[in-house]
């Protein structure tokens, strides 16, 4: 009998999936080759593509180094740091417009847009231009089409920002298999090289964002214990601080008070070059010419002066590190290794401060510019089915929940929960005959939703009118591996259900995340007091309604003076409910409970007697 023999095609890859680090300043593509070796596209840093786009005319778009050249000549048509705009509204980024040399359309509604020569572009379209360029480079490298990728984002990106990144990938013709947190990608790259077990802190200071993550590596599983950071902190800020100093010197020494956008770019460029050179040199000579003012500026620049300028900016990364340690329930001694990621970690002062806070030498053997892309490539390899030994888990940065009676936040998924995750909880109505239930979804750490951030709202219905407390509503929160939240509400009696994917149109800056966390700590006591008042009121209201209903329905069982007594207590209770003393409300609630107990007992006896004949309950 003939039998089939499987033909071995050799160590080929099942599907070409690349890892993309879509950075604020630079982007990079990496891959895993036929021999399981990681590599980046372009040798000797050549594959690093500045995340800069020049839109010179309809269909005339250049990206990367070539686009960077246009920063000087076509300043208003050249876009950088577009990642900062992803998933944001104009209001979110308005305070930074003076730092940008291109124009944002001043529209108050919806997502921010960049205006270039009268045409508006979304950050998604602009990011897609970068991704298209990266895709083309990869295709040239492999000599075949590339259709799928893993793209990295900062750990603090919210749903809108993650979704925007995914959409940009799609627009560029890429199937985005996973949106991966940058520090997690770095840990992956690190784990591959070292095969270490233990707890790792990933300190990622790039051009525009700062991320700190604490991860536990165990048996091939990378679990994120805590994340923190600042989406508005990075090497760009150091450049800005240097520029401020240079501009005041230009004003003092050369009388150049105002500069053209082109000149501003020149100063920015000089500042960045000086900063980078001082990572290895102790002192450099700085020189540049402002063409429009015909001024040549030069001065010596020493590392200690740079450190004096950059020190306060680097210091701002320290508190998120301390908080991440606290969130992970660890002391510095609990960290086994510290990994450095991002171009700015080449600065000696950064290495020193990171070493001090985590009480150990940071691990910097991997190229800090490549580490994220390499980790993304490893994840891409896992998802393309080439590798089975790695599983990735991330966490949610802020608690997620829904609004309940009295405007309280009912948390379904607490902050720092590992994702993907699914949580279900059950709720009921507080008012009789509700035919629709509003599900308001919030993000934040405070006890009351008004202090948190609304993500979505929808109504579950129509529902059959029922007395309060009768319906059983199940609410399920599911967060997928990309950190995108799906909220589902179901009426268990009728099976009616409604679901929503949360894609908030407004972004959340790291400042806001920080503020929310800080306030949740500072206001914890006030919040608890208020929660107790609200809970006492809710309980009181429930008892008032039950007592009133019983008195009306069983008037025949109410004894002389009983109704008056109950009404008098309800009167006092209503008064107490207006005030903020939860102890008083509770006292009166207990009094009402106590006073209505004999009536409740009679009602029960009565219904039991009706049910089993004319016997008294004591006789049964």
Task: Give catalytic residues, as residue numbers.
Answer: 21, 83, 182, 204
CA-closest candidate to residue 188, choices 224, 231, 234, 155: 224
Residue 343 is a binding residue for ligand AMP (CB under 6 A): yes
d(Cα 166, Cα 172) in Å, to the nearest integer? Answer: 10
Contact status, residue 453 vs residue 438, Cβ threshold 8 Å: no
Q: How many C-beta atoms lie closer than 10 Å to residue 479's C-beta? A: 23
Provide, rounded to whole angstroms, the least separation between the CB of residue 341 and ligand AMP: 7
d(Cα 119, Cα 77) in Å, to the nearest integer? Answer: 10
Residue 24 is a binding residue for ligand AMP (CB under 6 A): yes
CA-closest candidate to residue 186, choices 212, 160, 148: 212
Q: Which of 68, 247, 303, 346 binds ligand AMP (CB under 6 A)?
A: 346
Going by their DSSP bridges, the two strands 175-181 and 148-153 should be labelled as parallel
d(Cα 605, Cα 612) in Å, to the nearest integer? Answer: 10
Phi-psi region of 109 (alpha: psi -120 to 50; beta: other; left: phi over 0): beta
d(Cα 383, Cα 378) in Å, to the nearest integer? Answer: 9
Q: Which of 38, 123, 154, 342 binds ligand AMP (CB under 6 A)?
A: 342
Tokens representing 404 are: 């309940």
Interaction residues for ligand AMP, span 178-207 (CB under 6 A): 206-207
Going by their DSSP bridges, the two strands 148-153 and 17-22 should be labelled as parallel
Closer residue to ligand AMP (CB): 83 or 88:
83
Q: Which of 272, 394, 403, 541 binds ligand AMP (CB under 6 A)?
A: 272
Interaction residues for ligand AMP, span 448-507 (CB under 6 A): none
Going residue by residue from 283 to 322, which x/- string records binding to ligand AMP, judged by CB under 6 A? ----------------------------------------
Residue 25 is a binding residue for ligand AMP (CB under 6 A): yes
DSSP output for 11-55: S--SS-EEEEEE-SSEEEEEEE-TTS-EEESSTTTTT-EES-EEE
Provide, rounded to whole angstroms, the least separation between the CB of residue 197 and ligand AMP: 27
Provide, rounded to whole angstroms, the least separation between the CB of residue 156 and ligand AMP: 15
Residue 152 is a binding residue for ligand AMP (CB under 6 A): no
Q: Which of 276, 289, 422, 609 binds ligand AMP (CB under 6 A)?
A: 276
Provide, rounded to whole angstroms, the least separation between the CB of residue 83 and ligand AMP: 9
* Residue span binding ligand AMP (CB under 6 A) among the ranges 234-242, 250-258, 355-363, 512-520: 234-242
* Residue span binding ligand AMP (CB under 6 A) among the ranges 37-45, 130-138, 287-295, 344-352: 344-352
Closer residue to ligand AMP (CB): 369 or 482:
369
Residue 265 is a binding residue for ligand AMP (CB under 6 A): no
Closer residue to ligand AMP (CB): 203 or 442:
203
CB-based contacts of 326, cutoff 8 Å, min separation 6? none
DSSP output for 349-363: HHHHHHHHHTTSPPB
d(Cα 504, Cα 494) in Å, to the nearest integer? Answer: 30
Of all residues in this chain, which one has the CB nearest to ligand AMP in the complex?
A: 235
Going residue by residue from 205 to 224, which x/- string records binding to ligand AMP, judged by CB under 6 A? -xx-----------------
- Which residue ranges make up the site for ligand AMP (CB under 6 A)? 23-26, 206-207, 234-236, 272, 275-276, 279, 342-344, 346-347, 369
């Amino acid at each position: 009998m003939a039998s089939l023999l499987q033909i071995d095609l050799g160590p080929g890859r099942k599907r070409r999936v690349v890892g993309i680090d879509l950075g604020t300043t630079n982007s990079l593509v990496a891959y895993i080759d036929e021999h399981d070796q990681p590599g980046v596209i372009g040798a000797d840093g050549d594959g690093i593509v500045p995340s800069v786009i020049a839109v010179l005319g309809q269909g005339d778009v250049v990206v990367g180094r070539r686009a960077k050249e246009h920063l000087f000549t076509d300043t208003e048509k050249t876009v950088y740091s577009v990642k900062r705009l992803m998933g944001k509204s104009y209001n979110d980024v308005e305070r930074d417009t003076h730092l940008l040399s291109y124009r944002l359309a001043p529209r108050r509604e919806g997502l921010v847009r960049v205006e270039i020569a009268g045409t508006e572009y979304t950050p998604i379209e602009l990011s897609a231009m970068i991704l298209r360029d990266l895709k083309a480079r990869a295709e040239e490298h492999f000599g075949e089409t590339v259709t799928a990728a893993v793209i990295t984002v900062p750990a603090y990106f919210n749903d809108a920002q993650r979704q925007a990144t995914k959409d940009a990938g799609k627009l560029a013709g890429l199937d985005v298999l996973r949106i991966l947190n940058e520090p997690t990608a770095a840990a992956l790259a690190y784990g591959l090289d070292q095969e270490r077990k233990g707890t790792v802190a990933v300190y990622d200071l790039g051009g525009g964002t700062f991320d700190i993550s604490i991860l536990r590596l165990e048996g091939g599983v990378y679990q994120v214990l805590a994340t923190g950071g600042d989406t508005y902190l990075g090497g760009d800020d150091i450049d800005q601080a240097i520029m401020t100093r240079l501009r005041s010197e230009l004003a003092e020494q050369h009388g150049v008070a105002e500069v053209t956008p082109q000149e501003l770019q020149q100063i920015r460029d000089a500042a960045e070059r000086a900063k980078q050179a001082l990572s290895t040199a102790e002192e450099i000579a700085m020189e540049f010419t402002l063409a429009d003012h015909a001024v040549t500026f030069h001065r010596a620049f020493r590392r200690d002066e740079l450190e004096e300028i950059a020190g306060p900016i680097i210091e701002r990364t320290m508190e998120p590190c301390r908080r991440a340690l606290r969130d992970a329930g660890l002391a510095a001694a609990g960290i086994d290794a510290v990994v450095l990621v991002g171009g700015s970690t080449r600065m000696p002062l950064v290495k020193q401060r990171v070493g001090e806070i985590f009480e150990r030498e940071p691990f910097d053997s991997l190229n800090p510019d490549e580490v994220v892309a390499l980790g993304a490539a490893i994840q891409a390899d896992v998802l393309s089915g080439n590798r089975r030994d790695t599983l990735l888990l991330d966490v949610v940065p802020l608690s997620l929940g829904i609004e309940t009676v009295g405007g309280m936040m009912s948390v379904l998924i607490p902050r720092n929960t590992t994702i993907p995750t699914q949580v279900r909880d059950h709720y009921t109505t507080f008012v009789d005959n509700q035919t629709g239930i509003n599900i308001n979804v919030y993000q934040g750490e405070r006890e009351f939703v008004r202090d948190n951030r609304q993500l979505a709202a929808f109504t579950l219905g129509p529902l059959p009118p029922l007395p309060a407390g009768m319906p059983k509503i199940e609410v399920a929160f599911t967060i997928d591996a990309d950190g995108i939240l799906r909220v589902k509400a179901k009426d268990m009696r009728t099976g009616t259900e409604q679901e929503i994917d949360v894609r908030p149109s407004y972004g959340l800056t790291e400042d806001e995340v920080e503020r929310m966390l800080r306030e949740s700590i500072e206001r914890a006591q006030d919040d608890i007091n208020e929660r107790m008042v609200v809970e006492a009121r809710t309980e009181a209201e429930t008892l008032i309604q039950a007592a009133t209903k019983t008195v009306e329905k069983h008037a025949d069982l109410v004894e002389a003076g009983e109704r008056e007594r109950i009404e008098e207590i309800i009167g006092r209770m209503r008064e107490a409910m207006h005030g903020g003393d939860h102890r008083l409300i509770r006292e009166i609630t207990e009094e009402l409970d106590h006073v209505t107990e004999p009536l409740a007992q009679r009602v029960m006896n009565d219904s039991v007697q009706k049910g089993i004949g004319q016997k008294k309950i004591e006789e049964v």
